Structure 1
Amino acid sequence: MARVRLSVAERREQLLRAAVEQIEARGVAAVRIADVAASLGVSNALVLYHFSTREQLVAAAFAHAAEGDLARLRRILGRRSTAVRRLRAAVRWYAPTGQAKGWRLWIEAWAAGLRDPELRRVAASLDREWKAALTAVIEEGVAAGEFPCPDPAGAAWRLTACLDGLAVQTTVYAGGASRATTRRWADAVLDRELGLPPDGA
């Protein structure tokens, strides 16, 4: 049976998906070009044609996975609804007990980024985009008189920092807080940052 010929963009997408799967299975430190190539039945040379180094492949794979979550966040925040409802939906989705995937990847990237400048640069850039998206909606809510948050950018930073910390606790350590408890904590942090009473949405 003839092999289907993929375009450059399609092949790159395929390689990135395979790299994400290998990172999730093996961790950033252990994944090799050969692992990605073997998972697709292609040569190492083909992978290296698209990504000249292992570090470049890992950074691109992480960006590919994280951009998917970022696109979902933007869709949630772009809904026709109040800022409070959009923010609460985003927090419940983004929280480690929600539907957002990729927490293992983020944690892997944070750890590997300590020694990999390219991965650190990509992770930092995506993190800024998350915070900017949340800040913009918080500013909308303040302008509309929905809540009195005096520092939208600071609120976005503190909110994401709390959720990141919860993700480490629930992803790395077993036997932590229940799903319901974690969700309640995330809601409480949002309420506090926006200056809302508990269950204010």
Structure 2
Amino acid sequence: MAAHHPEDVRMKASRPPRRAVAAADRTRQPTEVRRRLIAEAAVPLIAERGYGSVGVRDVAAAAGVSVGTVTYHFGSVQEILSEAMVLHIEGYYAALSRAAEAATSGVEALRLLVDALFTEDTDRHWRMWFEYWNAGEQDPDQPFARGQADRYRDWHDQIRALAVRAVTDGDADCADPDGFTVRFAALADGLALQRLRQAPSLTTRDARRHLNRLIETELIPRRPRPATPRD
């Protein structure tokens, strides 16, 4: 199998958030568009400062609107930050899914997934991911908690589907797709946390190496069947 290069599948760096328009220009943008622009403006703030250190004034300044405009569209700063994290995470994993779907095989797709999970550009995503889960621990809101569980379930389903695809395509044997899914997701999360804290230090290259080792160990390549001798 050809070597993978992270730059081939690197997630595109997020562009600076578009500015939500001021009150005088509200008629030019539907409410849902303005909400999204305000939430998008909060994403880099969360990544840089953390969920608990961002206030309404910070978001308003980043979005280029008044505090009143922000509070008109959102009931609380928690609502803004929750929506911002959901937007980021859903967009990130949608891009990963597209990369995996374009692969020629299940094994190839998993390796592309690994390459995209750990690049020099993805530390910001992992900070957002852990802030998202930390917010859920502090938030008794049941819909928010259910949303978290649904997203993690979708992530597990995607990993499992790729492992099953590898078996169905005849590329590999996997004795325990469910167990592989749990171990892959847990290892990715653990490596990401170690990568962010650098205790001990971990490069993106080594993070990919550890995940690829798991794939090699649990998705055993099938050997070609020996040719049947002719009479």
TM-score, normalised with respect to structure 2 = 0.76
1:78 aligns with 2:107: no
Tell me, in whole angstroms, the C-alpha distance in 1 between the residues paired with 2:205 and 2:159: 23
Contact 2:171/2:221 (8 A) holds in 1: no
Tell me, in whole angstroms, the C-alpha distance in 2 between the residues paired with 1:88 and 1:49: 45
One of 24, 31, 56 as aligned partner of 2:47: 24
Higher Rg of the two aligned structures: 2
Flag structure 2 segments of 5+ consecutive residues without an equivalent: 1-23, 223-231
TM-score, normalised with respect to structure 1 = 0.86
1:159 aligns with 2:195: no
Tell me, in whole angstroms, the C-alpha distance in 2 between the residues paired with 1:82 and 1:32: 45
Q: Which residue of 1 aligns with 2:212?
A: 187
Q: CA RMSD in A?
A: 2.2
| CA deviation map 1:166-195 (0-9, x unaligned) | 000011236602333222112101222323
Q: Report the CA distance shift for 1:80/1:30 in structure 2 as closer, same or farther (over 3 A).
A: closer
Residue 55 of structure 1 deviates from its aligned partner by 1.8
1:176 aligns with 2:201: yes
Contact 1:23/1:105 (8 A) holds in 2: yes
Contact 2:42/2:62 (8 A) holds in 1: no
Tell me, in whole angstroms, the C-alpha distance in 2 between the residues paired with 1:80 and 1:177: 27
Tell me, in whole angstroms, the C-alpha distance in 2 between the residues paired with 1:177 and 1:154: 25
Matches within 5 A, 1:139-150: 139-150=164-175
Contact 1:93/1:99 (8 A) holds in 2: no
Residue 8 of structure 1 deviates from its aligned partner by 2.0
Q: Which residue of 2 aligns with 1:109?
A: 132
| SS of the residue 2:187 aligns to | helix
Flag structure 1 segments of 5+ consecutive residues without an equivalent: none
1:8 aligns with 2:27: no
Count of aligned positions: 195
| SS of the residue 2:175 aligns to | coil
Residue 150 of structure 1 deviates from its aligned partner by 2.1
Residue 140 of structure 1 deviates from its aligned partner by 1.5
Letter of the 2:125 partner, please give it. Answer: G
Residue 14 of structure 1 deviates from its aligned partner by 1.0
Contact 2:38/2:59 (8 A) holds in 1: yes
- Stretch moving more, 170-179 or 29-38: 170-179
Letter of the 2:189 partner, please give it. Answer: D
Tell me, in whole angstroms, the C-alpha distance in 2 between the residues paired with 1:34 and 1:178: 36
Q: Report the CA distance shift for 1:190/1:93 in structure 2 as closer, same or farther (over 3 A).
A: same
Tell me, in whole angstroms, the C-alpha distance in 2 between the residues paired with 1:99 and 1:17: 18
Tell me, in whole angstroms, the C-alpha distance in 2 between the residues paired with 1:80 and 1:169: 28
Residue 151 of structure 1 deviates from its aligned partner by 2.2
| SS of the residue 1:145 aligns to | coil
Tell me, in whole angstroms, the C-alpha distance in 2 between the residues paired with 1:108 and 1:163: 16
Contact 1:59/1:122 (8 A) holds in 2: no
Tell me, in whole angstroms, the C-alpha distance in 2 between the residues paired with 1:47 and 1:173: 36
Residue 3 of structure 1 deviates from its aligned partner by 4.8
Identical positions, percent: 33
Matches within 5 A, 1:125-140: 125-140=150-165
